[in-house]
Each structure stands twice: as C-alpha cells, then as structure tokens.
Chain A
Amino acid sequence: MSVHTLPHPRHGVRTGRSAVMPNGVFGMLIFVVAEVMLFAGFVSAFTIMRRSALVWPPPGQPRLPVEETAFNTAILVASGVAMLLAGRAFRRHAPSASRPLVAAIGLGATFVVLQGREWWMLIGGGLTLTSSALGAFFYLIVGLHGLHVIAALGFLVYAWRRLARGFLPPGVMGAAEVLWLFVVAVWPFLYWRIYL
C-alpha cells in the first residue's frame, strides 16, 4: 500500500460477488504461467538439440549423477509437501504453521546445497558450459531452476519472518505457496527431461 493510495475502499463490503482469490495469489499464478512457458522454451530447445544430435550423450563427457539427483528430487518434493502442510495449517489459523514452513525452507536449502555439490563434481569431471551442448543446456536449465529455488527461498523466509511476528496476510502466504509449489513441481519434469 503506497503512501498515496487509499486502502481499497470497497474491500470486503462489495455486494453479491467477492474476489475468487486474493490479489497476491492471482498475480503470482499469472507470473507462474509466464515461468512455465519460459521453462517450456528451454526444455523444448534442449529436446530439439538432443533429437537432432548424431551421438547422444556427447562423447567424453561425465555421466550425469542420476541416482544422487533422484535423492535430491525426493528432498525437494518433501519440501513441497511441507509447504502444503504449512498452507493448510495457516488457513486453519493453527499456531503451528511456522513449523512445516521452516521444514520447507530447510529441505529447499538442502536441495540447493546438494545441487551445488553436484555441479562442483561435474565441473571437476570436465562438464562445462562450453564443453558440449549437454553441458551448455545442463548448466543453463538447472542453473535457471537453481536461481528460482534461491529466489523463492528468499520469499519463504520473508513469509516466515512475518508469520513469526504474527502478521502474515493470506495473499502473501498464498503467493509464497504458489511460487514454491511451482518451483518444486517443475523439477521432477526437468529431472526426467535432462537426467534420464
């Protein structure tokens, strides 16, 4: 709410019809549509490149750590489940909503750390941005997802801080939920397209 804008005068007194969902949730959903298309653009480009390559995977490149990343994927999915629980507890006004929220943040941060470790190993193994098309797309897409996770974690921490101070609007919590569930849900798809 800016200094120059009055609080929406009609909010809550409108007759007959009310907003389907809070503004924050609605706005975040539209943003997620754009994000889905962004990832779809990258993944379809990668698929075209992979299909048209004569040899795949490119020779002389380290094998992607499919098993370790499956474990990471499970951690991120668990974090999404924790977020769902946090959202449900928040809507029931349960005082314990911050516990699953902290769990979601912790599991998300673990995912980032483990992925960072994986990058470290792969760069050591010779997979770099310029070593092959696989490397270029791998770091581009996984890196983009990583940035999204980090940014979304920042949003979750912000929501958690406000919850701890006892003042978290439903719009902010809903938006955090939508963003985090998107970041979680897109990952198994990326894992399937890139690692498998």
Chain B
Amino acid sequence: MATRPVEIREGHDTPGHHEEPSFFVKYLWSTDHKVIAMQYLFTGMFMALVGGFFSYVFRMQLAWPGESVPLWGLVTPAAYNMLITNHGAIMIFWVAMPVLIAAFGNYLIPLMLGCDDMVFPKLNRLSYQIFLLSVVVLFSSFFVTGGGFGGAWTMYPPLSGEAAYNNTPAGQTIFIVAVALEFVAFLLGGINFVTTAMNSRAPGMKLYDIPMVVWMIVIASIMFMASVGPLVAGAVMLIFDQTLNTAFFDPTRGGDPILWQHLFWFFGHPEVYVVLLPAVGIVAEVITVFARKKLFAYKTVLYTAIATGVLSFTVWAHHQFIAGIDPRMANIFTVTTLLISIPIAEMMFVYIATLYGGSITFSTPMLWALSFIATFLVGGVTGIFLGASGSDIYLHDTYFVLAHFHYTFYPIAIIGTFAGFTFWFPKMFGRHLNETLGKIHFWLTIIAFNGIFLPLFVTGVLGDNRRIPNHQVYPELDNPLMNGLREVATVFLVVMLLAQFVFFYNVVVSLVRGKKAEKNPWKSNTLEWTADSPPPHGNWKELPTVYRGPYEYGVPGRSEDYWPQNVPN
C-alpha cells in the first residue's frame, strides 16, 4: 500500500505532530512491526510453557505409569493422547513458527534492511490477530465434549476422520480449524516478509548485502507458501470427511488414507526446513559477531539454503516407508533424503570455518549458537539412520525417531530462539541481560536437554514404541534398564523446565534493573544496531544508507575490528 500517493491525514501523518496513542492502540492494535514482533514473541513463549507443561505430564506418566501426576492428576489414555498431540502441534505451529519466523522476521526484517516498517502494516496486524484467534480456538478444543484432539499432530486418517475412532467428535474439527487459522496468519506474514525484503531495502543494499538471517526468513517464507497448499487441500478434505460425510480418506468407502500422508508430509517435511532456516540465520549473525570474523562463504550459505529449500520438496515419503508405499519409491526417497543432508552439513562446516581462527567471546548468545551447531549435528546424523529405508523399517515409530527429531527441533525452536533472544535483547528492550544468570540458565538447559533425549535413543533402539501410554502392559518393554532410562529422561525434563524459571527471573530483573544498553553493545555491523535501543516508532529519524556487506569484521588496515554497513568509509 506504500504505492498510494501520499495522503496527509489531519493531525496524524503530519510529520512533527506526534500524539501519544492509548495503551490499547499502542500495544494491541498496533501496526508497528516491533510491537507485532513482541506480540508474536510473548504469545509463542506462553505457548512454549503450555507445550512444556504437557510434556511434563506425559513424561511423568511414562516414567511412573498410573501414578497421580502433581498439578494434573491421573493421566488417562485419552488424556495422554490429547497431551502428546497438542504438545507436538503447539511446539511446531504455535512456538517454532511464531517465534522464529513471525517474531524474529517482524522485528529484524525492517530494522536490518533499513526501512521504517513492513510494506503492508495492516496485513501484519491482521496476521497476528488471526494467529491469536487460532490460539483461542485451539484452547477451546480442550473444553468441548470428548476433550482435545488425540490423533497425533500428523492427524492420520482414518483415526482423525471418524469420531467413532478417536472419541473426540468436536475436538478433531476444532483442531484442524485452529491449524488452518494459524496457516492463514503465516500466509499473510510471509507475503509481507518477502515483499518487504525485495522492495524496501535501504539505498545501496544489494541482494548480497542482506544479512543472512533475513535471507533465511525470506527463503523459509517462500518455502512455507509453496508447501502449505497441499496440506490445506488435505485439511479441507479431512474436515469434509468429518462433518459432511464424504469419504476422501475412508478406506471402507473407497477413500485412500495414504493420500493424506502424502498431502501432509509434502507440507510437513519442508516445514522442518521452514523453521530450521531462520534458526540457522540467527546463528550466522551471532557467531560472526562473537568470533569477530567475516561469515565464511556468504554466497555458499545462501545458495545452500536455496538448494535445501528445493530439495526439501522431494523427500516427504521418507515418513511413510512402512505405510505400504512401493519399495521402489522408498529407494528414490532414501536417495533424496540422504542428499539433503549434504547442504545442511555444508552449512555446519561453513559455520565451523567461520569460527576457525576467530577471536571468540563466550557470551550467552554465543554459547547458545555454538550449542546449536553441536546438538543439531547429532540430530542430523541420527536422521541418516531414519532416512535410509532399511534401518528405518526397524526404527520406525520408536523413541529413536522421537529423540532424533527432538535433537533437530530443540536446537531450532529452543536453542535458536534463546540465541536470538539473548543476542537482540539489548536492542529490543534497551537493557542488558545478566550474563551470570544467562550462563547458569544455558548450562542447566543444555545439560538437561541431552539428559532427556540421549536415554531415549537407547530405549528406541531397544524397541520402545512411541505411542504407548503405559509400558507395563507389554512385558518385553517393562524391564529395569528401559524403566530406568525413562525415569532419567523424565527427571532431566523436570530439571530443564525448572531451569526456565532462571530465564524468566533474569528477563524480569533485567527489564527493571539491567544495565542500560547503548546503540551497538556487541559492536555489530548490521543496520539494526544503528537505531536507538529500543528503536522508536519509525526506527530512524533519518533512514540509513548501505555501503557494504554485513560481515566486515577484522578488516585489515582499519582501527576498529568492525565496519558497519552504513559507514561510508
């Protein structure tokens, strides 16, 4: 809408006239990209608490089956299914997506590109409002007859298509509606991100001068929009099956349940990279600043990300090796799946090369960024076993799968978020976080995280199935070794959840009493650090001009070891 000829509205748009808006207008009805980013960030963090609480309840049940869980009570099989389903859906759709793409995208894209706001500010506001509505709709599903949907976040029919099978006649439909609303929100957000990045860059900022995190969010947005269509198609068909008695996925009436799996994973696998790429971008920003080195092979990282995006559309059926697909097709998907580990491995090596010979500061954001590389490598390497159809047939639906994808999603959604949050906190709120508390929180979280999922690799290899709420029913799964490992995982989960109180305490105390942050506390090159901390409405009085790429650290012959993008020489 920025193409509209300038319309001066009386008393508002006139420069120099600034009216202090009311609280409602400023924080709940704002079109400012920074406020919308904060709305997404805090909603996402709240949802992370909900998803974390769910995981606490079902992990307690798994470690000590049949006992009453503090703060919840007895976990019935129906409640267990509801908890794991909504834990998965919340963590991916209501935590990883809003925080990594929407919050960081909204906050960073205009600031890093040197413009005053997104190109479609009203669309942006609508995006958050629809997202908030999707949260309300999801929560409402917990309180209807039969409770929340319990057919796993992947919603495989016929379990998800027939109320008689899943016992959640209302929850099943409300769940899909909530996910659909969430998609609409991100569709609007993604249109904004891509258009802003292409049309509103600062003068002088060429495509190769765009900071990597912005590129990553843009590529992720394009991937999201190219992959979400088939899932929306499937979701409409599933809702028709549930409510209008059609038979798209019902095998007893000529439908095809595998069709849903294709439609779902055609979206579902690119989705993994949709959330991965922004986290990879955040890590690139953090390690270049704290290693004081130029990003090794900027163009390689960029093209690798694009290659990952393209390849990620060709791997989806590796989720279906035992679903009855043609074994010849399984071979093809094994090859593509193993191929996609190459660009990702390449990115990891590029980051290690960036660190090589740098003068590294182990600040809290840097610790998070480094732990991202380490833990994501474990996740990536264990993925090879699952991508190869031969070993996947054995490991399918065991805790090995679960541990694998938590070793990928946890670095992405939690570690990547903490890296970004601790890195940009001084810019977002104008104060520094406490470093000591930040490091205590980091070490507790990262040790506990490994303590949760390393044992689960072992129980998975021993044959522990993912979907069983009570292992005592199966004598071969009920032995001291496996029970012990389950208890270890649960204890570490409780430690990890408790460690988050250190984080929240740190945030609250730092917001009130933290050291005031100047404009550029990390001596970083990118444009957001040339604005005030926190940036005012409109970001800059005079918008910056760009003269070079974002990673000119330690350039020989300069007195300072950094060279901001907006400094002429």
Instruction: Give A residues with C-beta under 8 Å from B.
Output: 1-11, 14-17, 19-20, 22-24, 26-27, 30-31, 33-42, 44-45, 48-49, 52-53, 129-130, 133, 136-137, 140, 144, 169-171
User: B121–A2 contact, CB under 8 A?
Assistant: yes
B74 to chain A, nearest CB (A): 41
A15 CA / B3 CA spacing, docked (Å): 17
Q: Contact check, A7 vs B13: say whether CB atoms are below 8 A apart.
A: yes
Query: Which A residues lie within 8 Å of B204 (CB)?
Result: 16
A136 partner residues in chain B, CB cutoff 8 A? 240, 246-248
A11 to B543 alpha-carbon distance, docked (Å): 12
A26 touches B4 (CB 8 A): no
Pick the residue among B1, B13, B200, B227 that contacts A6 (CB under 8 A).
B13
Q: How far is the CB of B314 from chain A (nearest CB, A)?
A: 15
Across the interface, which residues of B come within 8 angstroms of A5, CB to CB?
31-32, 116-117, 121
Cα distance A35–B192 in the bound complex, in angstroms: 16
- Which 4 A-B pairs rank lowest in CB-CB distance, beginning with the nearest? A37-B229, A41-B230, A41-B233, A38-B229
Alpha-carbon gap, A49 to B228, bound state (A): 21
Instruction: Give chain A residues whose Cβ lies under 8 Å from the Cβ of B240.
Output: 129, 136, 140
20 extra interface residue pairs, beta carbon distance < 8 Å, beyond A27-B120, A42-B233:
A4-B21, A4-B537, A5-B116, A10-B543, A11-B2, A16-B204, A24-B1, A24-B3, A27-B191, A30-B194, A37-B225, A37-B228, A38-B230, A39-B229, A41-B230, A48-B256, A130-B244, A130-B245, A136-B248, A169-B5
A52 CB, nearest partner CB in chain B, Å: 7
A45 CA to B256 CA, complexed, in Å: 10
Question: Least Cβ distance of B312 to chain A in Å?
Answer: 14
Bound Cα distance A75, B262 (Å): 35
The smallest beta-carbon distance between A178 and chain B, in angstroms, is 12
How distant is the Cα of A15 from the Cα of B543 in the complex, in angstroms?
13
Pick from A7, A40, A45, A52: contact of B2, CB below 8 A: A7
Please, how many angstroms separate the alpha-carbon atoms of A45 and B1 in the complex? 37
Cα(A17)–Cα(B233), bound, Å? 39
Known contacts A3-B13, A130-B246: A41-B263 contact under CB 8 Å: yes
Which residue, of B5, B226, B246, B259, has the highest number of chain A Cβ atoms within 10 A?
B246
Q: What 1/0 flags go to B502-533 for Cβ under 8 Å of A? A: 00000000000000000000000000000000
Please tell me if the beta carbons of A171 and B3 are within 8 angstroms of each other in the complex.
yes
Nearest CB on B from A89, distance (A)? 19
Complex: A160 Cα to B233 Cα, angstroms = 32
- Interface residues of B, Cβ cutoff 8 Å to A: 1-7, 9, 12-13, 15, 21, 25, 30-32, 115-117, 119-123, 125, 187, 190-192, 194-195, 198-200, 203-204, 222, 225-234, 236-237, 240, 244-248, 254-256, 259, 262-263, 266, 537-538, 543
Most buried by B among A27, A33, A38: A27
Of the candidates A1, A36, A37, the one whose C-beta lies within 8 Å of that of B13 is A1
Complex: how many Å from CA A133 to CA B226?
Answer: 27
Q: Which residues of B contact A171 (CB under 8 A)?
A: 1, 3-4
A35-B262 Cα distance, complex, nearest whole Å: 18
Which residues of A lie under 8 Å from residue B115 when comparing CB positions? 8, 10
Q: Is the CB of B3 within 8 A of A170?
A: yes
Closest beta carbon of chain A to B244's beta carbon, Å: 6
Q: Quick one: closest A residue to B194, CB to CB?
A: A30
Task: Give the distance in Å from the alpha carbon of A78 to the alpha carbon of B157 in the complex.
Answer: 42
Chain B neighbourhood of A19, CB < 8 A: 198-199
Contact A45 B3 (CB under 8 A): no
Interface of A is mostly: helix
Is A14 touching B230 in the complex (CB atoms < 8 A)?
Answer: no
Chain B residue, CB-CB nearest to A23: B119
Chain B residues whose C-beta falls within 8 Å of the C-beta of A15 in the assembled complex = 203
Contacting residues, chain B, for A44 (C-beta < 8 A):
230
- Looking at the assembled complex, report how far the CB atom of A139 sits from the nearest CB atom of chain B, in whole angstroms: 9
Contact of A34 among B125, B203, B229 (CB under 8 A): B229
A23 and B30 CA atoms in complex are apart in Å by 21
Is the Cβ of A7 less than 8 Å from the Cβ of B229? no
- The answer to whether A9 touches B230 (Cβ under 8 A) is no
Collect the chain B residues with CB atoms within 8 Å of residue A169's CB: 3-5
Which residues of the other chain, A, contact B120 by a CB distance below 8 angstroms?
23, 27
A5 to B196, CA, bound (A): 15
Partner of A37, one of B117, B198, B227, B543: B227
Contact B234 A48 (CB under 8 A): no
B232 x A9 contact (CB < 8 A): no
A31 to chain B, nearest CB (A): 6
B224 → A minimal CB distance (Å): 9
Are B230's CB and A37's CB within 8 A?
yes
Nearest B-chain residue to A136, judged by Cβ: B246
Determine the residue in chain A with the shortest Cβ distance to B263.
Answer: A41
Select one of A1, A17, A20 contacting B1, CB under 8 A.
A1
CB distance from B222 to the nearest CB of A (A): 7
Chain B hits for A11, CB < 8 A: 2-3
For A38, what are the chain B residues with a Cβ–Cβ distance below 8 Å? 228-230, 232-233
B contact residues around A7 at 8 Å (CB): 2, 4, 6-7, 13
Contact A23 B116 (CB under 8 A): no
Q: Is the CB of B246 within 8 A of A49?
A: no
When the two chains form the complex, which single residue of A3, A10, A14, A130 contacts B9, counting CB atoms closer than 8 Å? A3
Find out whether the CB atom of A41 lies under 8 angstroms from the CB atom of B266. yes
When distances are taken between beta carbons in the complex, the residues of chain B under 8 Å from A133 are 247-248, 254-255
B232 close to A33 (CB less than 8 A): no
Whether A27 lies near B119 (C-beta < 8 A) is yes
Residues of B within 8 A of A137 (CB): 248
Which residue of the partner chain A has the closest CB to B229? A37
24 residue pairs from A and B, CB less than 8 Å apart: A2-B121, A4-B30, A4-B31, A6-B538, A11-B3, A19-B198, A20-B199, A22-B3, A23-B120, A26-B198, A27-B192, A27-B195, A30-B190, A30-B195, A30-B222, A37-B226, A49-B248, A49-B259, A129-B244, A130-B244, A130-B245, A130-B247, A136-B247, A171-B4
In whole angstroms, how far apart are the Cα atoms of A4 and B29 in the complex? 10
Residues of B within 8 A of A41 (CB): 229-234, 263, 266
Q: Do residues A14 and B32 form an inter-chain contact, with CB atoms below 8 A? A: no
For residue A46, give the distance in angstroms from its CB to the closest CB of chain B: 10
One of A26, A33, A40, A45 near B199 (C-beta < 8 A): A26
Q: Which residue of the partner chain, among B25, B203, B225, contacts A14 with CB atoms under 8 Å?
A: B203
